[in-house]
């Protein structure tokens, strides 16, 4: 406890918030593959929000804001905008956020027909499409789009998912105040 307190008092680490928009959490899962490296990493960065690591539902202010996934529903738009507002540098993690990725495959189908087929026609007679004003499920947008069609993005780390090592290195670069160089083998599309 005292060690923790010590870190807190003199904490000049780079703060990082990550969010999962319309994604499969695959990028976040891959990030966990940084594995033991995470211990070194947290010496340089302070992860203030990340749904698999930290119990924080909102988008707190942070030096670096990372988003996984496409912008596919109304909530994603709000979260993306919040991320832009609360974070100095915005990073698009993975093909979905950077280049639209597999999550945009739904764009080839009519939104309403797809919802009918997915919800109403799948289960029993009672099932309905769970959207609407008071349903508590955010309304799906017409299309799923990459992050930079909604907010400015500073750094792109494509890959489905990107390599854990590439995610780690790019965070380390950001912590040093550098722009990560994602090129050569580090630049992936699969």
Partner 1 sequence: MSKATQSEAETGVTLEIDGQEVQARDGQTILEAAKEADIDIPTLCEHANLSNVGACRMCLVEVDGERNETACTTAAQDGMEISVETDELWTHRRTMLEMMFADQNHYCMYCEMEGDCELEDMFNRAGLDSSRVPLEYPDIEPDASNEYITMDLDRCISCGRCVRTCDEIVGNGTLNFGNRGRETTIVVDDDVSLGESSCVSCGSCVQACPTGALYSPLSAYKGRERNCEVETTTCSECSVGCELDVYTNSGRIVKIEGNEDGPADGQLCEMGRFELLADGRERLVEPQVDGETVSLEDAIDRASATLAGANGVNAFASDRLPTETLEAFSEALAAYDASLEIPGAERATLESEVLSALEAELDVETADLLVDSLHDLEDSDTLVVYDTGIVESHPVVASYVRRAANGETTLVTIDDGEDRLERFADHSIELAAPAATVTEQVTDVFEGGTEALADGTVEDIVDVSLQLSGDATFVLGPAVEDAETMVDIFGLAATSDNEVLSLGPGRNSAVANVPTDDLETDADVAYLLAADDRDDDLDRSIELAREADTAIVHATRASALTEIADVVIPALDWFEREGTIVDADGEDRAIERVLDPRGEIDSDRELLADLQEVAA
Cα 151 to Cα 148: distance, rounded to the nearest angstrom:
5
- Measured from the CB of residue 72, what is the shortest distance to partner 1 in angstroms? 13
Does position 99 bind partner 1 by CB under 8 A?
A: yes
Fill in the DSSP letter of residue 119. I
Residues of span 20-79 touching partner 1 by CB under 8 A: none
Q: In what order do the strands lie in the sheet with 45-49?
A: 45-49, 14-20, 62-68, 87-93, 155-157
Does position 177 bind partner 1 by CB under 8 A?
A: no
List the one residue from 102, 120, 129, 173 that touches partner 1 (CB under 8 A): 102
CA nearest 23: which of 93, 117, 112, 107? 93
List the one residue from 5, 9, 11, 108 that touches partner 1 (CB under 8 A): 108
Residue 96 near residue 72, CB atoms below 8 Å: no
Strand 140-145 to 62-68 pairing: unpaired
- Measured from the CB of residue 82, what is the shortest distance to partner 1 in angstroms? 21
Does position 88 bind partner 1 by CB under 8 A?
A: no
Query: Which residues of this protein are in contact with partner 1, per CB under 8 A?
Result: 92, 95, 98-102, 104-105, 107-108, 143, 145-146, 148, 153, 156-158, 160, 182-184, 187, 189-190
């Amino acid at each position: 406890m005292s060690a923790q307190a010590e870190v807190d008092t003199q904490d000049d680490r780079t703060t990082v918030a990550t969010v999962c928009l319309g994604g499969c959490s695959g990028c976040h899962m891959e990030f966990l593959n940084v594995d033991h490296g995470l211990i070194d990493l947290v010496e340089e960065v302070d992860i203030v929000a990340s749904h698999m690591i930290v119990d924080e539902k909102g988008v707190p202010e942070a030096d670096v804001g990372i988003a996984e996934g496409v912008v596919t529903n109304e909530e994603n738009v709000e979260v993306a905008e919040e991320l832009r507002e609360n974070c100095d540098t915005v990073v698009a993690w993975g093909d979905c956020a950077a280049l639209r990725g597999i999550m945009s495959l739904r764009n080839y189908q009519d939104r309403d027909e797809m919802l009918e087929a997915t919800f109403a026609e799948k289960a029993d007679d009672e099932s309905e499409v769970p959207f609407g004003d008071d349903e508590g499920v955010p309304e799906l947008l017409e299309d799923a789009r990459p992050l930079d069609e909604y907010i400015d993005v500073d750094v792109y780390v494509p890959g489905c998912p990107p390599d854990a090592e590439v995610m780690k290195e790019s965070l380390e670069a950001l912590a040093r105040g550098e722009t990560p160089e994602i090129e050569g083998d580090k630049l992936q599309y699969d």
